[in-house]
A and B are shown apart, each in its own frame.
Chain A
Amino acid sequence: MKILVCLKQTFDTEAKITLDSNGKIESKGVSMIMNPYDEFAVEEALRIKEKGEGEVTVISVGGQQTQDALRQALAMGADKAVLVDPGEIELDEFSTATVLAKTIGGMEYDIILGGFRAIDDGSAQVVGRVAELLNIPVVNVVTKLEIEGGKALATREVEGGSEVIEVALPAAFTAQKGLNEPRYPSMKGIMKAKKKPMDKKTLADVGLDENQIAAKVKALSFSLPEARQAGKVIPGEAAEAAKELARLLREEAKVI
Chain B
Amino acid sequence: MIFKLSEEQEMIRKTVRDFAEKEVAPKAGPMDEAEEFDYSLWDQMAEMGLTGIPFPEEYGGAGMDNLCYAIAVEELSRVCASTGVLISAHTSLCSWPIYYFGTEEQKHKYLDPLANGEKIGALGLTEPSAGSDAGSVKTTAVLDGDEYVLNGSKIFITNGEKADIYVVIASTDKTKGSKGTAAFIVEKGTPGFTFGKKEHKMGIRASSTYELVFENCRVPKENMLGEDGKGFKIALMTLDGGRIGIASQALGIAQGAFDEAVKYSKIREQFGKSISSFQGIQWMLADMATRIDAARLLVYRAAYLKDSGQPYSKESAMAKLYASECAMWVTTKAVQIFGGYGYTREYPVERMMRDAKITEIYEGTSEVQRIVIAANILK
Secondary structure of the A contact surface, majority rule: helix
Beta-carbon contact of A190 and B15 below 8 Å? yes
Contacts A187-B49, A187-B62, A188-B49; A194 near B8 (Cβ below 8 A): yes
Provide the residues of chain B in CB contact with A184, threshold 8 Å: 15, 18-19, 44, 48
Closest to B44 in A: A184
Beta-carbon contact of A72 and B48 below 8 Å? no
Provide the residues of chain A in CB contact with B8, threshold 8 Å: 190-191, 193-194
Least CB distance, A32 to chain B, in whole angstroms: 10
Question: B33-68 vs A: 1/0 string, CB under 8 Å?
Answer: 000000000001001111001000100001110001
CA distance A189 to B49 in the complex (A): 9
CA distance A184 to B72 in the complex (A): 14
Beta-carbon contact of A190 and B47 below 8 Å? no
Provide the residues of chain B in CB contact with A187, threshold 8 Å: 12, 48-50, 53, 62, 64, 68
Question: B55-98 vs A: 1/0 string, CB under 8 Å?
Answer: 00100001110001000000000000000000000000000000
Provide the residues of chain A in CB contact with B19, threshold 8 Å: 184
A202 at the interface (CB under 8 A from B): no
A63 at the interface (CB under 8 A from B): no
Closest to B72 in A: A187
Chain B count of residues within 8 A CB distance of the other chain: 19
B7 at the interface (CB under 8 A from A): yes
Provide the residues of chain A in CB contact with B68, threshold 8 Å: 187
Known pairs A184-B19, A185-B15; list 10 more (Cβ under 8 Å).
A72-B11, A75-B11, A184-B44, A186-B47, A186-B62, A187-B48, A187-B68, A190-B8, A191-B8, A191-B63
Closest to B16 in A: A184
Beta-carbon contact of A190 and B12 below 8 Å? yes
A-B interface pairs (CB < 8 A), number: 45
Beta-carbon contact of B64 and A191 below 8 Å? yes
CA distance A193 to B8 in the complex (A): 9
Least CB distance, B24 to chain A, in whole angstroms: 12
CA distance A204 to B19 in the complex (A): 39
7 nearest A-B pairs in the assembled complex, by CB-CB distance? A187-B49, A187-B62, A186-B49, A186-B48, A190-B11, A185-B15, A184-B19
CA distance A194 to B7 in the complex (A): 8
A71 at the interface (CB under 8 A from B): yes
Give the contacts of B172-208 with A (CB-CB under 8 A). none
Provide the residues of chain B in CB contact with A185, threshold 8 Å: 11, 15, 48
Closest to B64 in A: A187
Question: B6-30 vs A: 1/0 string, CB under 8 Å?
Answer: 0110011011001100000000000
Contacts A71-B7, A194-B7, A194-B8; A188 near B15 (Cβ below 8 A): no
Interface set of A (CB-CB < 8 Å, partner B):
71-72, 75, 184-191, 193-194
CA distance A184 to B63 in the complex (A): 18
A and B contact pairs by CB, cutoff 8 A, 18 listed: A72-B11, A72-B14, A75-B15, A184-B18, A184-B19, A185-B11, A185-B15, A186-B49, A186-B62, A187-B48, A187-B49, A187-B50, A187-B53, A187-B64, A188-B62, A190-B8, A190-B62, A194-B7
Provide the residues of chain B in CB contact with A71, threshold 8 Å: 7, 11
CA distance A184 to B44 in the complex (A): 9
Interface set of B (CB-CB < 8 Å, partner A):
7-8, 11-12, 14-15, 18-19, 44, 47-50, 53, 57, 62-64, 68
Provide the residues of chain A in CB contact with B64, threshold 8 Å: 187, 190-191
CA distance A191 to B55 in the complex (A): 13
CA distance A88 to B26 in the complex (A): 42
Beta-carbon contact of A193 and B11 below 8 Å? yes
Which one of A72, A185, A190, A193 has the highest number of Cβ atoms from chain B below 10 Å of its Cβ?
A: A190
CA distance A187 to B64 in the complex (A): 8
Beta-carbon contact of B18 and A191 below 8 Å? no
Closest to B10 in A: A68
Provide the residues of chain B in CB contact with A188, threshold 8 Å: 49, 57, 62-63
Least CB distance, A67 to chain B, in whole angstroms: 9
Beta-carbon contact of B62 and A191 below 8 Å? yes
CA distance A71 to B57 in the complex (A): 21
CA distance A75 to B64 in the complex (A): 14
Closest to B22 in A: A184
Least CB distance, A237 to chain B, in whole angstroms: 28
Least CB distance, B321 to chain A, in whole angstroms: 29
Provide the residues of chain A in CB contact with B18, threshold 8 Å: 184
Provide the residues of chain A in CB contact with B47, threshold 8 Å: 186
CA distance A31 to B65 in the complex (A): 25
CA distance A186 to B63 in the complex (A): 12
CA distance A194 to B50 in the complex (A): 18
Provide the residues of chain A in CB contact with B48, threshold 8 Å: 184-187
CA distance A71 to B48 in the complex (A): 16
Provide the residues of chain B in CB contact with A191, threshold 8 Å: 8, 62-64
Least CB distance, A42 to chain B, in whole angstroms: 14
Closest to B46 in A: A186
Closest to A72 in B: B11
Provide the residues of chain B in CB contact with A189, threshold 8 Å: 49
CA distance A159 to B19 in the complex (A): 34
Closest to A67 in B: B7
Closest to B52 in A: A187
Least CB distance, B266 to chain A, in whole angstroms: 11
Least CB distance, B67 to chain A, in whole angstroms: 13
CA distance A72 to B7 in the complex (A): 11
Closest to A75 in B: B11
CA distance A189 to B50 in the complex (A): 12
CA distance A190 to B11 in the complex (A): 7
Least CB distance, B237 to chain A, in whole angstroms: 25
Provide the residues of chain A in CB contact with B14, threshold 8 Å: 72
